[in-house]
Structures are given as structure tokens and as C-alpha cells.
Amino acid sequence: MASTAVSRHVVAVPYPGRGHINPMLAACRLLAAADGELTVTVVVTEEWHGLLASAGVPATLPPAGRVRLATIPNVIPSEHGRGADPAGFFEAVDAKMGVAVEQLLDRLERRPDAIVADTYLAWGVPAGAARGIPVCSLWTMAATFFWALYNIHLWPPVDDREGEQVRLSDVKIFRSWERSMKLTTEAFVNVRKAQCVLFTSFYELEPCAMDRITQAVPFPVYPVGPSISDMPLDGGAGKIDDEEHRAWLDAQPERSVLYVSFGSVVSMWPSQLEEVAVALRDSAVRFFWVARDSASAGDLRRIAGGNGLVVPWCDQLGVLCHRSVGGFLSHCGWNSLLEAVFAGVPLLALPVVWDQVVDARVVADEWRIGVNLSEQRREEDDGGGVVVGRDAIRAAAARLMDPDDGESREMRRRAALLREACRGAVQDGGSSRRSLNGFVKDLADGRLNFHIHVENNGRENFTLGNLLYEANIIPPCRCHVVAVPFPGRGHVNAMMNLSRLLAARGAATVTFVVTEEWLGLLSSSSAPPGVRLRAIPNVIPSENGRAADHAGFLDAVGARMEAPFERLLDRLRLEEEEETAAPVAAFVADFYVPWVVDVGNRRGVPVCSLFPMAAVFFSAYYHFDSLPSWLAKPPHQPVAGATTDNPDQRLEHYISSLASSSIMLSDLKPLIHSERTVEYILACISSIRKAQCLLFTTIYELEASVIDSLE
């Protein structure tokens, strides 16, 4: 009988809010649909488990029940009161939820292959790094807003001027949420240490933002949206389950109804809701209004008159896709915008807080499928809140729903184009389907590894130990690092010097792995304190004869050392169990022993690669495909057509990032002993892309421009 076991397991941790949980569940369904051997465990609080169950969400979801819910205790305030103090709720999530999630991770029967954590969960990346589990950050808002927060350190100071390009009034809105901004800044410090970012958006919706992010961040970017709750996996239209809602909409003319909804968490001021209700009454526009507060629903129904329906809840995607709906008056929460785009419905944007302000500008100024009502004349209510007046709302609603208005027709045309792009993105061959398949393949192939950027910030005495634990590669305590040099004097010495530095500060104990021959060569001088020598058998040619067949020596290192190294690791694990050695927290491996990266990935141990030569040569290797083909031939072999490339040309002719280097093409030739050498170097470069960080034995001031270009 065929086994029903699956080969991959992902743990997903959404931020505890409807606008985060719904897109996370949708993204997990997409992941499971794209990979038939993947199960996803979605972690929610016990309260949210109950809320989802009451909304008809089962404990296991399609496809094939491979998306399942798991719970942690209710360690944060109730969902029912979070709107009264969003910043306090955010602080509780940051301070209390991470410990409960980590305890669940440690109890799981099967170790996850990856964690998908909401970007706002600042503790998500450190929790994964401490366990050697790759963490993928899921961003549930606009990529444009992600880019703004990623560059928060570049935001201009707030003053009273209004710039045409930089909207300082928007910055004021964000910074007025001082407590939330502090936690958001922390989250975006940690997201730089994630292994990748998943976006619930799709490329065609935000191409400029996606391109900028992809070029700037040190990790892969996967736009897999639209990640929409209740969206059929085939991209079809939503459905309406409520018979009363469907019957009322069926009775309305095509594109005659304005759908109204202002989200599920942060409430509008009562005075603003009253302005909206009066505006709808005076406009004579048909409306379908979702007012989740049952206490105010009656008042709104009375004020707005008999032109519409006021309900406490609805199947939003199904309503937006109904033929009678022709517009959407929205708070511009990102999930609502994605659903509007999916349905091809133009918008009236009335943002309340946070990302909604940016979203509203994108709707009106970039996509040009709506009107930003916050740009209209504002009035102060008695409570000090800023409201948009009824006259501005009435005029905008009447115009948007007028089938003969030229500007509204253009908005509908552009909304229809975005709808087609949206649905095309999730079809076979579409941008999101390709991105989703790429993510699944990278997960299956073990390529979702640590991409870490750590800055010295000008501090003195910054050691490798600082780097390792400040980058969350290893915990902030004395730990166990295994160092693996390439078996050659120039490499062994460089690795030993690095190990000495690491051990000297008390950051780590280093196990230095060499062959038995090299153990004898090193035994004449005692190892530094904190560094212990361990040997594997002499499975490679002797050091005395390696120069006679350099390529053969490389082949032996690449093919024969991995198995005995793994056997040594197994012995070290036994020592760990006997408590005679600390667990291995990281490998530091020479660039020229690429198989250590694969060993680390299989065992969940982070790998730092050491390049013991000039950084300029690493850059040349890294861009080897850009160099002329004759370089791959041995020095004595003539190559037809080689005269088309001048050996005395500078590398900058081929590698623009080396513009300040004086290295010539001919300088590289002695490094190329044979075509087999080239193949080995290319294998090393391929492997380095899967390592967690890259260490150089050079200093920044010596090769500043080269190192800057690599970063």
C-alpha cells in the first residue's frame, strides 16, 4: 500500500487579526495546492480558533485537508476589545505571544522545514533562527507600504510643509502612532534577517514597488497574490451564501449598487459615519452597507433612507463580484482592495489609519481606479476628529455610479484591466503562479536559507562571535562552532586565525576539522585556547603531491571528504547527548569546500562561508559568466578567436562593479588550471548562494568599493 506521508511541513504564524489571518489562510491554501507533498500547520490563539469555527472555517482546510489549525493559549487581549487600544494589543502580541509559539514549535512531532510568519511578528525570525529553521516573512499589505517601512530610517523630519512628492501629512499620521511605530521599526529590523518575503499582492498590480524591493533586499521576493479569503483556488468568482443578500442584489440593475464597508477592527468616528449616511441618502444611489456594529446599524439605516440595505456581515468577495455592484466605498484596507481589484470594481477611498492612507493614494494616483475622498475638503467634528463632509461624499458617489460620466467610465475601464491582470496572475503561466511554484521548488530543494546582513555600526572589537549571535545565527552564549578549512596551508592558516579570534572573546568553542595528515602537521604547535582539533581519515591525496595534479586534488576534496565529515558530526552528536560537548550551533567552512553548505542545510545548521583570498577575486568568480570563454581554458592551450578579447583589458570592462579595480583579465589566468578547476569554482559559487553569510579575511578599507558592490 502506498504511503500517505508527506515530505514537507510548514508552520504558519499569522498576526492575530482578521486582516492578517484571512490572507495567511489563503496563502497557505495556495501553497498546499501548489505542492501536493506539503502540509501546513497554522498557529492561532484558542480564541481565534473558536472565531474561525463559528465563521465556518474547519480545523482542516482544502486542498485535501493539508492545511490544519493548531492553537496556543489566549496570552493576548481578546479580539473583541482590540479596537479600543490597537497599540496596546500590538505590544501584547510582541511581548507575550512569541514564547507560546516557541513552546508549540518545540512540542511538534515533526520539525518544520520552514516557518511562514507575519512580518509584524518581530519575534518570528529569531524564533526560527534559534532552531535553524528558515523563516519566510508574509507581508499582508501593499508592497508599496512595505517599501516605505523598509526605508523608515530615510523618512524626512515632520514639519508643517506639504511637499508635492513626499506627503509629510501622511508621515505625521504614522508617527502619531508612536507606540506602534516603535514595534513596526523592530519588525523591519528583523525582516532583513528573514530568508524570503511572500507578498499577498501580485506583480502586475505594483510593478515599480516589486522591482525596487527585489533589487534592494538581501533575500528572494515572491509575490503570490491575490491572497484573498474565500477565493476559489482556480481564480473563479466568489459566491453569496446569504439568501436575503443575494435576493436583494439580484433585484437591482447592473452596476447600480455602491457597496460600503469600513473594515473589521478600527472604527470610524460616529460623526464620519453620519456624514456618509446623509451623503448616501441625498445622492439617491443604491447601496449595500456592512455595519458590523449592530448598535449603530439601526441609526445608519434610519439616516440613510430606503435606497439600500444595511447588514452586519456579508460574503464580501461574492457581493463585489455580483453583477449589480458598480462601486465600493472603502476604508482601503489592503485585503478589501485586493478583493475590489479581483472583482474589477472602482472605489471611493475613505482611509482611517495606518497603511490605508498610502493605499488610498495608490488607488487614486497610481491605479487611477477611484477617488481619494481624504483629498476633499475636511471638517473638524466636535470630538476633534477629521471628517470628510457629506457634500463631498455625495458628489463623489453620484459621479462614480453615473454610467454616463466620462471619468467614471475610465475608472471602470482601468478596473476591468486590473481584474483581468489579477485573474491572469493566478492561472497557469501567470506571474503569481510562477512565483508560487518557484517558492515551492526552493523550499523542496532546500534553497530557503539564511540571507543575513549585519552592520558593524562603527563599534570597536566587533568579532565573529558578535556577528553570529547578533545576526541570530547562534544564541548569545558560549556555543559550539565547527570550522572546516580547505586542506591547504594558505587556507588552514586563515581558518585557524579566524577560529582563534572567535574563541578569544569567549563567544564559542571551536572544533577544527582536518585530515589525519594535517593533524600531524599541526600537532607541532598547540591549538589556541578554545580550539580543539578533530580529524577525519586521509581520504584525499597527500599534501606532498597535490601540486602535481591540482584539479585532481580538488576533485578528491569535493567527492571524498563529505561522508567522513558527516560521520564525525554523528560522533559529536553522541558527545552532545552525553553532555561532554555543546550542540553544534554553526559551521564555518572554507569557500572551496562547498559540500559543507549542503550538510548544514540537511542538518539544520547555519553555514558561514570563509573566502581566504582578495574580495576582488571572489567578485570575479561570482560574475564568471560575464567573462570571456577563453579564461576557462588552461594556460598552455591556444583558443581560436581569443584575439577578440584583450588579455590586458581590465575586469571592469566585463564587471561594472569593479570599476575601481586595476585587475586585468590576464591576472586571472594563473588561477585557472583546467576546465575541471573552472567547474569546481562554479560549483562553489552555486553553493555560496545557499550559505547564511560570507566572511572575508580582508579588511573593508583595503577593498571598500568591491565589498560595497557585493553587498
Q: Are 237 and 321 spatial neighbours (Cβ–Cβ below 8 Å)?
A: yes
What DSSP line would sit under 401-428, residue for residue? T-TT-HHHHHHHHHHHHHHHHHHHHTST
Lowest mean pLDDT among 184-193, 331-340, 470-479: 470-479
Domain range summary for the chain, segments of one domain joined by + = 8-232+437-444, 243-419, 464-615+689-710
Q: What is the pLDDT of residue 197?
A: 94
Do you know the residue count of the chain?
711
The tens digit of pLDDT for each residue in 271-318 reads 788 888 888 888 888 899 888 765 566 667 777 667 888 888 888 898
What pLDDT sits at residue 154? 64
Q: Which three cell numbers stand for residue 310?
A: 444595511
Find the angle CA(328)-CA(333)-CA(338) to the nearest 5 degrees: 70
Would the pLDDT of 188 be above 80?
A: yes
pLDDT at residue 483, rounded to an integer: 96
Give the pLDDT of residue 705: 81
pLDDT of residue 464: 40
**At 244, is the secondary structure helix, strand, or coil?**
helix
Other beta carbons within 10 angstroms of residue 627's beta carbon come to 18
Which residue in this structure is represented by grid cell 508621515? 171
d(CA 279, CA 425): 37
First vs last C-alpha separation in the chain: 51
Sign of the CA dihedral 126, 128, 133, 136? negative
Cα–Cα dist 267/699, whole Å: 54
Higher pLDDT, 7 or 41: 41
pLDDT for residue 358 is more than 80: yes
Rounded to the nearest 5°, which phi and psi values hold at 426? Answer: -95, 0
Contacts of 325 (CB under 8 A, 6+ apart): 249, 255, 257, 258, 259, 288, 319, 343, 345
Instruction: Write down the pLDDT at residue 184.
Output: 83
3-state secondary structure of 62: coil
Q: What is the CA radius of gyration of the chain?
A: 30
Q: What pLDDT does 568 receive?
A: 93
Give the model's pLDDT for residue 315. Answer: 86
CATH topology agreement for domains 8-232+437-444 and 464-615+689-710: yes
Look at residue 17 and give its three-state secondary structure: coil
In order of 77, 90, 94, 371, 523, the CA distances from 85 in angstroms are 10, 9, 14, 30, 65
Fold exhibited by the domain 464-615+689-710: Rossmann fold (3.40.50)
Q: Look at residues 435, 1, 525 and name the one whose alpha carbon lies nearest to residue 227.
A: 435
pLDDT band at residue 673 using 50, 70 and 90 as cut-offs: low
Determine the 3-state secondary structure of 66 from DSSP: coil
Segment of 156-160, 195-199, 353-357, 637-641 carrying the highest mean pLDDT: 195-199
pLDDT for 444: 85
pLDDT at res. 435: 92
| Residue 708 one-letter amino acid | D
CB atoms within 10 A of CB 662: 10
CB atoms within 10 A of CB 165: 4
- The predicted-structure confidence for 234-276, as pLDDT tens digits, reads as follows 445 556 777 888 888 999 899 999 999 987 655 677 778 888 8
Where in 456-551 does DSSP place strands (E)? 479-484, 508-515, 531-536
CB 168 within 8 A of CB 227: no
Contact by Cβ (8 Å): 345, 326:
yes
Distance CA 434, CA 223 (A): 9
What pLDDT band is residue 190 in, cutting at 50, 70 and 90? confident
**Which of 395-399, 493-497, 625-629 is least confident?**
625-629
For 94, the grid coordinates are 510582541
User: What is the band of 96 on the pLDDT scale with cuts at 50, 70, 90?
Assistant: very high
Site of grid cell 570550522: 483
User: Could you tell me the CA-to-CA distances from 403 to 287, 408, 411, 418 in Å, in that order?
Assistant: 16, 7, 11, 19
Name residue, grid cell 517558492: 439
670: cell is 594563473
Which ranges in 305-347 belong to alpha helices (H)? Answer: 316-321, 334-343
More confident residue, 55 or 255: 255
CATH architecture of 243-419: 3-Layer(aba) Sandwich (3.40)
β-sheet bridge partners, residue 474: none
What would the pLDDT profile of 676-688 be if each residue is shown by its tens digit?
777 888 888 888 8
Q: Does domain 8-232+437-444 have CATH number 3.40.50.2000?
A: yes
Closest to 143 measured CA to CA, from 194, 197, 92, 189? 197
Angle, helices 615-622 vs 675-688, to 10°: value is 100
Nearest to 277 by CA among 363, 389, 353: 389
